[in-house]
Structure 1
Amino acid sequence: MENGAEKAFNKLFSELEDCKEEEQKVKIEEINEAMEVMRKEELESVFTKEQFDKMEQMIEEKKMLMENAILVLKHIGYMKELKFTSNLSFERSLLSKRFEEMIGDGNEKKEGKDEKLLDDLYECHLLNKCNVTSNETLKIYVRRLLKVALKKEEKEEVGKEVEMALMALSCIREYFRILKKLYLEEISEIIQHHQEHHNLTQLAYQSAWGFLISRFVNEKSLGDAIVNELHFAREAARELEELSKRVDWKRGKETKEEYILLRWFRTFNNFFRGCKLWNEEFAGLIESIVRILRTAKDNYGEISNQCISSLRNAADSTGVKVEDLLKGGAVDAVLEEIQQSIIDRKTAYECLNFFYFISWRMKEKGDDKMKEAKRKITKRELFEKLEEEGYEDDISSFYRLLCFLKKIYFDKLPTNISVYFVNV
């Protein structure tokens, strides 16, 4: 049964067919505004194959200009990506097939291409589709949309174009391999220019990093540029602090900043998966994640869960030192989680993994005397902290839960309690 928001959206959409060109643009603005206030579940229910097929029919019957269809579809894709909604309906629709044909025809033209239309089509396609037809098509998308994202004019309209292009690029998931010569120089320029001039929106800046870090999963040679030249940890920590100031942590109105925060945490998971290098900025990033975890855990369960996942991935990353986790407060924060009287199984799983990874890493001896001496100091500090907090008793209380967690997560989570302990 439709609720009020869905009913209002569907009514606006049904009225498009009877509007003249200028009226249609006004109606589209109303449709886009209606999407802004809809919850994730509501958005998923209104993005149907029937809606997209109806748009295709209106275009075919010349009741809707392609320009207007693009306005709607861009915003649908924007909201889909911002609020992490599923939109497989577009992929199965006649409108998707039309777009693919137009893109193919446009790419084959040697002269007289409508470059703006093609860029719009690329953005719509990436924002609304999970997969891209071929690697060759993907190269074209990346090259063209980076060109849009490189625009530096200080105009609101240009800022929106740049944000949309970067957001579309961030939709290219990590399992798509792209040669770094196609993007590294350009995306680095975009990030560095923002660091100097602050020309991007918060969402655009996150999207730029999201695109680059997704490439990091398959291209470890990006490490030095990401860690030491572009200073990912420093920049991400600063962004978390800025966004945190703009979220209503007492659970007020749902905000865009909340979703941008969630996008950062998903980016962190890719970063920690690929990270092999270290610099001194990592502890600051860990500290920012811990601060948000403590702020969010009472009213923002999804953000809290993403914080814990990020800390678990950081503990598993060879590029993050155990000292960073101690200094940044991650050990204290995860201890607080397992000491709660009620803890859900997902949180328990993440916390147990966090301590398993730390224990395992503390058993690895350093490859020279200096590193080994430092490892022993860290191990002693960690042991004393855990002993003081009654950690072994806390972990032992999870014994019955371990086999269950191992089964439901199909993981190599050890069931031997002793492997989670840190012994001097």
Structure 2
Amino acid sequence: MFNANDKFSLFSGCNTFSKMQTMSVTERFNELFSELEHYAEDEQKQKIEEIIVLMEEMDEEELYSTFTKELFEKIDKMIEEEKLTMENAILLLKHMGFCNALKDIWNDSFRNSLLKARFEKMVAEEDEKKGDDEKLFIDLIECYLLLDNRFSLDLYHICVPCLLKVALKKEEDEETQKEVEIALLALSCINSYCDIERDLYLNEIKEIIQYHQKHRNLTRLAYQSAWSFLVFRYCKGFSSEIVIVNEQHFAREARRELEELSKSVNWKKKEEEMGKTERKTIDIISRWISSIGNYFYSCHLWSEKYTELISRIVDVLRASRDNHSEICEECIQSFDTVTGNRAVKFDALLKGGAIDAALEEIQRPILNISIINEFIYFFHLISLHFKGKGEVNTKEEERKELKRNVFEKQEEEGFEDIITSFQKVNRFYFDDDTVFIQL
């Protein structure tokens, strides 16, 4: 039987649950966060775990608007006043960073906060102690990297070897896999502008990738992150492209991963209708497309595998265009990088189906203007490509034949009429001379 106090407690709890149900995910986050400093350590940890669940529900816009400088300043103050333990702060911040990095969201909020300065100082201090508390050292580095992809150059020689040591673990239990995933994701956050000495990472990252290719020991996100880290180094001027193309087989692996990941997604669902696992898969696919685009931007060696890779990107484009326009646009942008790289044979776009996909999209009855603009720009780049010298080592007669094939596809699909109609509503790239491929 309930006594009066039990009845009041139950009524109060129901009211709280009802209120939480009607609040937005960001409002619920802010309310739970504002209560943190009033709880003891164990209760605080429980509330942080509730906050983590909310963060995993947020989309890019919600994460961007929630993770503000004010929020990081508040966390720093709570640590300073001992209202938030360092263990709980790391638990919260690591998951904030995980969500940011997974969705590739970067702003200056953490970078300009006092909390960043605190973490820089703590990393340096722990390094001087030579690993007295190795777990804390790793946690600090991961939080730091996951929240700021442009951190102090002085810390690279500390952070990179430390995280590679974690990432080299071979055990396949769930806890170790998660540790490795976080370490590689944090490494993948190091921006391409950062010039890291090859001796700090090359042998280790090669071993991680090659071991996974034999034993499949990494999670999907961990494997993508390992490649993302390596491709970013290549974009910076890493000279041994043969390592990526011939030893690590980037095109083959990227194509296979895109194919397998795509099969586990119900593309008919919108992102908000998907469960946690499917949303994470979508984010990993997006990261692969981004890495492929980065690679095509800088590569110097041609591989026949590029045509197969482009074909797989076309499959993702067609699957994503109705409910996941951001990924669709990323696919088109990866084609843009191919047109601008003279080392990549332009014929790969034709054989891989990229041009067919572009023409299909422009003629669909329901148009996404943002995607249409991307495709029109794609044709603009194609035209500029043909006006230039084309790819390296392509004979003039081959270039003319390729140009004729593209022209005939456009003519068959009535592309010239479509361009004319779009000129009336958007003058950005739409002129016959630079968009329509003319003989």
TM-score scaled by length of structure 2: 0.85
| CA 1:168–1:365: 2 relative to 1, 3 Å | closer
1:43–1:193 Cα change, 3 Å: same
1:118-163 per-residue CA deviation (whole Å, 9 max, x = no partner) reads: 2211111111124212x23122211211111111111211111111
1:218 aligns with 2:242: no
Aligned to 1:33: 53
Q: Does 1:45 align with 2:65?
A: yes
Structure-2 change in CA distance of 1:222 and 1:422 (3 Å): farther
Q: Which amino acid aligns with 1:389?
A: E
Secondary structure of the 1:221 match is: coil
Percent of aligned positions that are identical: 51
Deviation per CA, 1:212-245, whole angstroms, max 9, x where unpaired? 1111212152322112221111111111112212
SS in 2 for 1:89: coil
Moved more, 70-79 or 112-121: 112-121
Q: 1:164 aligns with which of 163, 182, 198?
A: 182
Distance 1:205 1:181 in 2: 21
Question: Which amino acid letter does the alignment assign opposite residue 216 of structure 1?
Answer: Y
**Matched residue SS, 2:344:** coil
- Aligned with 2:102 (options 79, 82, 102): 82
Letter in 1 for 2:433: I
Give the aligned residue type for 1:33.
V
In the TM superposition, what is the alpha-carbon distance from 1:16 to its structure 2 partner?
2.5
Q: Which of the numbers 114, 118, 123 marks the counterpart of 2:142? A: 123
Aligned residues: 411
Of the three residues 58, 65, 88, the one matched with 1:68 is: 88
**Matches of 1:38 and 1:23 in 2, distance apart?**
23
Supply the AA of the counterpart residue of 2:298. Answer: G
The answer on whether the counterparts of 1:70 and 1:124 sit within 8 Å (CA) in structure 2 is yes
Aligned counterpart in structure 2 of residue 13 of structure 1, from 24, 33, 50: 33
1:286 equivalent in alignment to 2:310: yes
Using a 3 Å threshold, how does the CA distance of structure 1 residues 58 and 418 change in structure 2: closer, same or farther? closer
Match of 2:133 in 1: 114
| RMSD (Å), alpha carbons | 2.6
Match in the other structure for 1:411: none
CA distance in 2, matches of 1:418, 1:65: 60
Q: Any unmatched runs of 5+ in structure 1?
A: 407-413
Q: Does 1:301 align with 2:325?
A: yes
1:98 to 118, 122, 137: 118
Quick check: 1:322 aligned with 2:340? no
1:379/1:61 CA distance change after superposition, 3 Å: closer
The answer to whether residue 269 in structure 2 is matched with residue 251 in structure 1 is yes
Stretches of structure 2 that go unaligned for 5 or more consecutive residues are 1-21
8 A contact 1:352–1:420 mirrored in 2: no
- Superposed CA deviations along residues 322-352 of structure 1, whole A, max 9, x for unmatched, are 2211111111011123334665554344323
The amino acid that maps onto 2:231 is I
Deviation at 1:182, TM superposition (A): 1.9
Correspondence for 1:391? 415
Amino acid paired to 1:386:
Q
Structure 1 runs of 4+ aligned residues shifted over 6 Å read 365-368
Native 8 Å contact 2:177 2:218 kept in 1: yes
Q: Quickly say closer, same or farther: Cα 1:113–1:367, change in 2 above 3 A.
A: closer
What is the distance in 1 between the residues matched to 2:397 and 2:312? 29
- Say whether the 8 Å CA contact 1:88–1:130 is kept in structure 2: no
The equivalent position to 2:206 in structure 1, one of 178, 188, 208, is: 188
Contact map agreement 1:56 1:95 (CA 8 A) in 2: yes
Equivalent AA in structure 2 for residue 209 of structure 1: W
